[in-house]
Amino acid sequence: MTILRRTLLQLAVLPCALAAGLSWSQAPIVIKFSHVVAKNTPKGEAAEKFAQLAAEKTKGRVKVEVYPNSALYKDKEELEALQIGAVQMLAPSLAKFGPLGAKEFEVYDLPYLFDNYDELHRVTQGPIGKSLLQKLEPRGIIGLAYWDNGFKDFSANKPLKKPDDFKGVKMRIQSSKVLDSEMRALGANPQVMAFSEVYQALQTGVVDGTENPPSNFYTQKMHEVQKYLTHSGHGYLGYAVIVNKKFWEGLPPDIRKSLEEAMAEATTYANQIAKKENDDAIEAVRKSGKTQILELTPAERAELKKTLTRVHAMQAERIGPELIKSIYKETGFDPAN
Ligand code: LMR
């Protein structure tokens, strides 16, 4: 069903609700929050937390309906749905804003840019992160917060440890030119694909491998169809929580304030649980006995890092050299090391 048709159907239900005796003042404001991952992931749990806090803080005047696992929309569709107002809230991965024209967000995809969550938070929770979110406003979107997932690992049906191992391997990526460049730097063959299609594509051999934090790998059951997971932590994957600007600015000010408070608390929660969820997921993969977890030696890690950090210079013009430099300054990243 097209997004337009779905929206028209949703609008068609409204007169019935009114005829049934509901008045505007009684009916709660509904926020449809669509996302593509499982419920038991950092994003899935944070979305549920936000729904619960929003109901509490607005005393039931707002109802957040969370739709996980691409139940409403897949990656590309969900951004279109937000812009036309068919859903009000999303938390797409930062790697998915390029097609909207906000290519600066792909800075977060640069391999090895952040060594840990502390370095990352200096950017996402500081002025650089804030100014990036503001770039969404001309596109009819307000960026409310950053939610963490974690650091990505490579997976495939063959061990991927050295750049040579990647030659000709078909790797699923998100829609980010930086990730395309990352895979090409390794000699792999990148293929953009919606998250909801990855399991099947791995199962049927449409692609050979992929990259994701362990929480996504495990909850999408990718360990059933991938023999090896390289514990590389070579890049970050996290989210921007975004709302339709017209909807947000049209909310009564007291409601908006309560929702901002709910978002601040849900963000603290999201960023507290993310690391443990990923640590637990990798343990669960190990215990499943289905995927072998490969640890890199310091020399292997150094070789991979050397190959992959070349992507920073290759993508600097597209993302903005000044933005990249300002992040290096914040985190202490040294491109020569
Ligand atoms: C992916 O497409 O791999 C991720 O962006 C999914 C997600 O939202 O974590």
pLDDT of residue 179: 98
Q: Are 179 and 189 in contact (CB under 8 A)?
A: no
By the 8 A CB rule, do 150 and 42 touch? yes
Distance between Cα 194 and ligand 1 center (Å): 8
Mutate to test the pocket of ligand 1, among 33, 34, 36 (most ligand atoms within 8 A of CB): 36
Q: Over 13-33, what HEC string results? A: HHHHHHHCCCCCCCCCEEEEE
Amino acid letter for position 151: F
Tell me what pLDDT residue 335 has.
Answer: 81
Distance 107 CA to ligand 1 centre (A): 16
Which neighbouring-strand residues pair with 212? 153
What is the predicted pLDDT for the residue at 25? 57
* pLDDT (tens digit per residue) in 44-82: 999 999 999 999 999 999 999 999 999 999 999 999 999
Tokens representing 200 are 């099947």
For residue 234, give the nearest of 151, 296, 314 by alpha carbon.
Answer: 151
Q: Which of 79, 89, 87 is nearest to 263 (CA)?
A: 89
Classify burial at 25, counting beta carbons within 10 Å of its beta carbon; exposed 0-12, middle 13-18, buried 19 or more: exposed
Residues with CB under 6 A from ligand 1: 36-37, 93, 149, 174, 195, 212, 216
What are the distances in angstroms from CA 88 to CA 42, 301, 315?
Answer: 20, 42, 32
pLDDT of residue 240: 98
Among 237, 242, 278, which is best to mutate for testing ligand 1, by the most ligand atoms less than 8 A from CB? 237
For residue 259, give the 3-state DSSP assignment.
Answer: helix
Query: Any idea which residue has 């000709």 for tokens?
Result: 168
| Atom 2 (ligand 1) nearest CA | 195
Give me the pLDDT at residue 293, please. 98
The CA distance from 108 to 126, in Å, is 14
Residue 22 — φ and ψ, nearest 5°?
-80, 135
DSSP 8-class letter at 268:
H
Distance CA 255, CA 309 (A): 45
Counting as low any pLDDT under 70, the low residues of the chain are 1-25
Pairing type for strands 89-90 and 29-34 reads parallel
What is the DSSP code string of 233-253? Answer: --SEEEEEEEEEHHHHHTS-H
**Substitution candidate for ligand 1 out of 37, 175, 197 with most atoms within 8 A of CB:** 37
- Domain coordinates in residue numbering, the chain: 28-331
| Alpha carbon distances (Å) from 14 to 5, 94, 100 | 15, 34, 31
Which residue's structure tokens are 């343990």?
283
- CATH number for the region 28-331 comes to 3.40.190.170
